[in-house]
Amino acid sequence: MMRDNQENTPFALRQFTPAQLREALRKMYLIRLFEEGAEESYMRGLIHGTMHLSIGQEASAVATCMELTDADKITSTHRGHGHCIAKGADVGRMFAEFFGKETGYCHGRGGSMHIADVKTGNLGANGIVGGGLPIAVGAALTAKRLGRDEVTVCFFGDGANNEGAFHEALNMAAIWKLPVIFVCENNKYGMSTSAAYATAVKNIADRAVAYSMPGVTVDGNDFSAVAEALHDAIARARAGEGPSLVENLTYRWRGHSKSDRNRYRTKDEIEEWMSRDPIARFRTELIAHGILDEAEAEAVEAEAKAAVAEGIEFARQSPSPAITDVTKFVHAEEAA
């Protein structure tokens, strides 16, 4: 790892090109604006069901995926829109999925909780807390067995760390030395139950010790801190040295889902975390280090805004699946 004389320059600004950093900022805006667009569409009745918004967690999603290629895999969670965008998905096809349209990533069969983009390596969000953990280990097993130079990043939340699947998955990844990085987005609450109440250890990363892998807790709203932790973990995975656990401390500004009345946390707490906006922080950092100027940053935000507006329009105009296709995609022979 590079530790040159630019000691005051954050890791990410030394590690990535200005174009990559600009793109990272664009993706963070894209996630924020996508979530706001989805929320608004939901309020207007264009999207049904429920959804879990990741506003406030954008740095965690984008910084985690910085060094991943399309061949690398991720498994995502019920709060997975940001992961999907960070991994390279098109917001038009994502909106189309939320609108239940045939042009959506899952042809309208999955919706928000199953959003996936297999071509960019996103194996899918998951409606089951902890569901993606063993699946990520399986994806890493495939890479190892078939000799593919691929890593798998497994996103999960603080709630999942008390599922049996978490413990079984970390243990197997460790005994088989698989190229997988477990990324816990600790946003303090599993629905309403706080991690502090529900988890016996102070930091979820402390649990790495039990599975003989490195565990690190970072400020998940600090883009560079997350990118640096992932850089180390990905390098370890690619070198065949096995899995790592990274805990990104972050916060969701919105409720758990659309039914949340925020009775388990205070307004002060929410406002305090909103003042630590990961996007504003990253933008300020890029400007301070001369990567972008104000006008360029504005242009990046405007670009994301236009993409979201265009995406919603694409979704609105897209066709719905045929009612007669309700059993299509259950089995291979019906997919043709």
Count CB neighbours of 127 within 10 A: 15
For other proteins, the closer CB: 140 or 304: 140
Interacting span for other proteins (CB under 8 A) from 7-15, 17-25, 311-319, 324-332: 324-332
Closest CB 26 distance from other proteins, rounded Å: 26
Q: Residues 264 to 323: which contact other proteins by CB under 8 A?
A: none
For other proteins, the closer CB: 134 or 311: 134
Q: How far apart are CA 266 and CA 220, in angstroms?
A: 21
Interacting span for other proteins (CB under 8 A) from 39-47, 167-175, 214-222, 304-312: 167-175
For other proteins, the closer CB: 164 or 290: 164
By CB under 8 A, tell whether 120 contacts other proteins.
no
Q: Supply the angle between the helices 18-43 and 278-288 in degrees, to the nearest 10.
A: 150
**117 strand-pairing partners:** 122
By CB under 8 A, tell whether 162 contacts other proteins.
no
Q: Is 127 helix (H, G, I), strand (E, B) or coil?
A: coil
Burial of 221 (0-12, 13-18, 19+ CB in 10 A): buried
By CB under 8 A, tell whether 238 contacts other proteins.
no
CA distances from 158 to 54, 198, 308 (A): 14, 9, 29
**219 strand-pairing partners:** 249
By CB under 8 A, tell whether 128 contacts other proteins.
yes
By CB under 8 A, tell whether 145 contacts other proteins.
yes
Binding mask 19-58 for other proteins (x = CB under 8 A): ----------------------------------------
- Kindly report the length of the chain: 336
Q: How far apart are CA 94 and CA 120, in angstroms?
A: 13
**218 strand-pairing partners:** 248
By CB under 8 A, tell whether 157 contacts other proteins.
no
By rule CB under 8 A, what count of residues binds other proteins?
A: 46
Q: Among 18, 88, 127, 214, which residue sits at the site for other proteins (rule: CB under 8 A)? A: 127
Single-letter amino acid code for the residue at 234:
I
By CB under 8 A, tell whether 100 contacts other proteins.
no
Q: Among 40, 70, 118, 272, which residue sits at the site for other proteins (rule: CB under 8 A)? A: 118
Give me 209's structure tokens: 């010790």
Q: Among 114, 258, 265, 281, which residue sits at the site for other proteins (rule: CB under 8 A)? A: 114
Q: Are residues 132 and 79 in contact, defined by beta-carbon separation less than 8 angstroms?
A: no
For other proteins, the closer CB: 26 or 144: 144
Q: Is 74 helix (H, G, I), strand (E, B) or coil?
A: strand
Interacting span for other proteins (CB under 8 A) from 33-41, 120-128, 205-213, 273-281: 120-128
The two beta strands, 193-194 and 189-190, are: antiparallel
Residue 181 phi, psi dihedral angles, 5° rounding: -120, 120
The binding site for other proteins (CB under 8 A) comprises 73, 75, 104-110, 114, 116, 118, 123-124, 126-128, 131, 133-143, 145-146, 164-165, 167-169, 171-172, 175, 327-332, 335
